[in-house]
Amino acid sequence: MNLGHDALVRPGLGQRSWQQKSNLGWLFCTACTTLLLSIPIITVLYSILLPRSEVWLHLRSTVLPDYILNSFVLAAGVCLGTCLLGITTAWLCSTCSFPGRRLFSWALLLPLAFPPYIIAYTYTGMLDFAGPVQTSIRNFFGWEYGDYWFPEIRSIGGAIVMISLVLYPYVYLLVRTAFSEQSASLREASHTLGTGVYKTFFTIILPLARPAIVAGLTLVVMETLADYGTVHYFSVPTFTTGIFRTWFGLGDRIAATQLASILLLCVFAVLLAERYSRKTVRYQNPTKTQKFRYYPLSTTKAILATGICCIPIFLGFIIPAFQLSIWAMHTASEMINMSFLVLIYNTVLLAVMVTMTVVIAATLLAYGKRVSTHFSIPYAVNLSATGYAVPGIIIAVGVLLPFAWLDNTLDTWLQQKFGISSGLILTGTLASLVFAHVVRFMAIGLNSVDASLAKIHRSIDDAAQLLGHKTFDRFASIHLPMIRSGIFTAALLVFVEVIKELPATLVLRPFDFNTLAVRTYELASDERLADAACSALLIVVISILPILVLNRSIAQAGVLHGSQA
């Protein structure tokens, strides 16, 4: 372990200024990108400074406490749910030997392909009071309403289960990676000293995986807080639904943005608390010295392990996918036509453009953070990655306002100067849509790239620097090849997210530009679940591919992201 590494490499004053000079170009780019990406977030945060309206007072005295409580319960519940599902399965798949382990290790990622709102629609269609399951029960036993108890799917509990079922793969993926990177010698030493499997797990394995768990949970919490589709469909009043209601119902966009900025501040608080709590602890794994042996399981335990891994796959993927397929078969002949192909094309086009931009920007920022010596850069970079926790619709407003302002200002200037009009160059184009997505999903890209960069020891940078390599050279010849798989992971995760994104697309898209998510939403929100099934299913299918590639690349590369996020 490299204890004391900090003291050795912290540059002295003279060295710092020399280093800074050589990084100047890079830092400039980082600062500019950060600034650009932060525009929407700053636009949102700025609203806090605006005067509180009458609507705000009304909110505070009536529904705000409910919003806070429900959002908190939801986030906490989803954390618990994703930990339970994610960590258990990660531990089984990375340390135990049981039938189907290899199959499970990738199949457990499949639920990630389901956007939360689609799984919510699907389960509601099945489990609702008037749905087929309860109707069959009533018909079979001759019961009526009130004669029996059945869990209410459209409740906060239901929302927690739905969101947990599709978000646990984040925890699973990062934690599994962390577990399999842990040195076997630690575990064996523990066993040699007479500690049992479970105690070893709770005292050594789990604490060592803490950064990965936290990284996974951070993504989960941010995504949960930003979720609108599920909570809206279930009528659970949370911050996000409150934001919509304040804007649309009460007609007060500013109060809505103020709500959003409170949400943002909460996320900042969580991020800072997390950062602070592990400030003093450094997590570095000793190099793997020996091949790890999987724990052999007795027959009963092996069956149990198989069963445990089956639960989330069945609930989070197979059952809803099966239901969607049944619906899709009924409606496919009507729904699949030329315009459906255009939907696919648009969706993929948008996803590719966003993915490329995020990957480039994330790499730039992550590396900028690494080479920066100014204290503000890491904060600025982190600020630009908070968009993930902001509901897409608020990001959309954060993009729309400054872009439209820019367009109109440019136009006025051109009119005065040349008497010509530029019209709207950015607003209502694919550019602003791509930008909004980049802001929204920067966190995913940055987390992955950052984590893989963090695994490269600083001494390598220092050595290269001493040998006279400039910042860019060091990056291109040393870091880039080493973080390739991290970048790849980032690209795939972002791609999947863009395919699923809805609210920002709705607001910002150009004329006649529909995506699969938009189509699904329009049909499903009109209670035409069966008609929505084709596009919903396709979102899932398109998302599966990158997920499978992702799993494969992780399994092969060995260089894994996430353990130090």
Partner 1 sequence: MNIQCLHKLQLGLALCACLSGSLLNAAEVNVYSARKEGLIKPLLQKFEEQTGTPVNLITGKADTLLQRIISEGVHSPADVLITIDAGRLYRAQQANVLQPIESAVLTNSVPKQYRDPNGYWFGLSVRARPIMYDLNRVRPEDLSTYERLGHPVWQKKICIRSSDNIYNQSLVASMLAHLGKESTLAWAKGLVDNFARPPQGGDRDQIRAVAAGQCDVAVANSYYLGKMLASKDPAQREAAEKVRIFWPNQENRGVHVNISGGAVTRFSKNKAHAIALLEFLVSDAAQQWYAETNFEYPVKPAIPASEILSTWGKFKADSLNLHLLGELNAKAVMIMDHAKWK
Contact positions with partner 1 (CB under 8 A) in 504-563? 506-514, 518-519, 522-523, 525-527, 530
What is the Cα–Cα distance from 240 to 244, expressed in whole angstroms? Answer: 7
Residue 158's closest CA among 196, 186, 120, 185? Answer: 120
Nearest distance, CB of residue 425 and partner 1, angstroms? 6
How many residues in the chain?
Answer: 565
Nearest distance, CB of residue 290 and partner 1, angstroms? 56
Residue 507's closest CA among 437, 422, 423? Answer: 437
Decide whether 271 or 533 has the Cβ nearer to partner 1: 533
Residues 274 to 333: which contact partner 1 by CB under 8 A? none
Angle between helix 529-557 and 116-127 (nearest 10): 130
What is the Cα 436 distance to its own chain's centre? 15
What is the Cα–Cα distance from 495 to 560, expressed in whole angstroms? Answer: 19
Decide whether 396 or 444 has the Cβ nearer to partner 1: 396
DSSP 280: S
For residue 307, what are its two tokens?
């069963």
What is the Cα–Cα distance from 289 to 295, expressed in whole angstroms? Answer: 18
Decide whether 144 or 273 has the Cβ nearer to partner 1: 144
Decide whether 117 or 234 has the Cβ nearer to partner 1: 234
What is the Cα 516 distance to its own chain's centre? 19
Residues 226 to 255: which contact partner 1 by CB under 8 A? 232-235, 237, 241, 244-245, 247-253
Phi, psi of 15 (to 5 degrees): -65, -35
Decide whether 22 or 408 has the Cβ nearer to partner 1: 408
Residue 136 contacts partner 1 per CB under 8 A: no
Residues 333 to 392: which contact partner 1 by CB under 8 A? none
Q: For the chain, what percentages of helix, strand and coil (3-state, to nearest 5) are there?
A: 80, 0, 20
Residues 106 to 125: which contact partner 1 by CB under 8 A? 124
Residues 55 to 74: which contact partner 1 by CB under 8 A? 55, 58, 62-63
Decide whether 276 or 418 has the Cβ nearer to partner 1: 418
Q: 9-30: buried (b, 16+ CB within 10 Å) or exposed (e) per residue? A: eeeeeeeeeebeebbeebbeeb
Contact region for partner 1 (CB under 8 A) — 279-287, 398-406, 540-548, 555-563? 398-406
Contact region for partner 1 (CB under 8 A) — 150-158, 180-188, 359-367, 448-456? 150-158
Decide whether 128 or 188 has the Cβ nearer to partner 1: 128
Q: Are 536 and 523 in contact (CB under 8 A)?
A: no
What is the Cα–Cα distance from 90 to 96, expressed in whole angstroms? Answer: 10
Contact region for partner 1 (CB under 8 A) — 83-91, 413-421, 483-491, 533-541? 413-421
Nearest distance, CB of residue 407 and partner 1, angstroms? 7
Q: Which of 78, 385, 393, 491 binds partner 1 (CB under 8 A)?
A: 393
Q: Which of 4, 12, 51, 145 binds partner 1 (CB under 8 A)?
A: 145
H or E element at residue 437: helix 430-454
Q: Are 427 and 510 in contact (CB under 8 A)?
A: no
Contact region for partner 1 (CB under 8 A) — 134-142, 221-229, 360-368, 556-564? 134-142
Phi, psi of 427 (to 5 degrees): -65, 135
Residues 421 to 440: which contact partner 1 by CB under 8 A? 421-425, 427-428
Decide whether 181 or 252 has the Cβ nearer to partner 1: 252
Q: Which of 397, 444, 494, 517 binds partner 1 (CB under 8 A)?
A: 397
CA atoms within 13 A on the CB side of 3: 2
Nearest distance, CB of residue 494 and partner 1, angstroms? 24
Phi, psi of 296 (to 5 degrees): -75, 140
Residues 152 to 181: which contact partner 1 by CB under 8 A? 152, 154-155
Decide whether 49 or 512 has the Cβ nearer to partner 1: 512
Nearest distance, CB of residue 312 and partner 1, angstroms? 26
Decide whether 274 or 522 has the Cβ nearer to partner 1: 522
Residue 501 contacts partner 1 per CB under 8 A: no
Q: Are 563 and 451 in contact (CB under 8 A)?
A: yes
SS3 146: coil
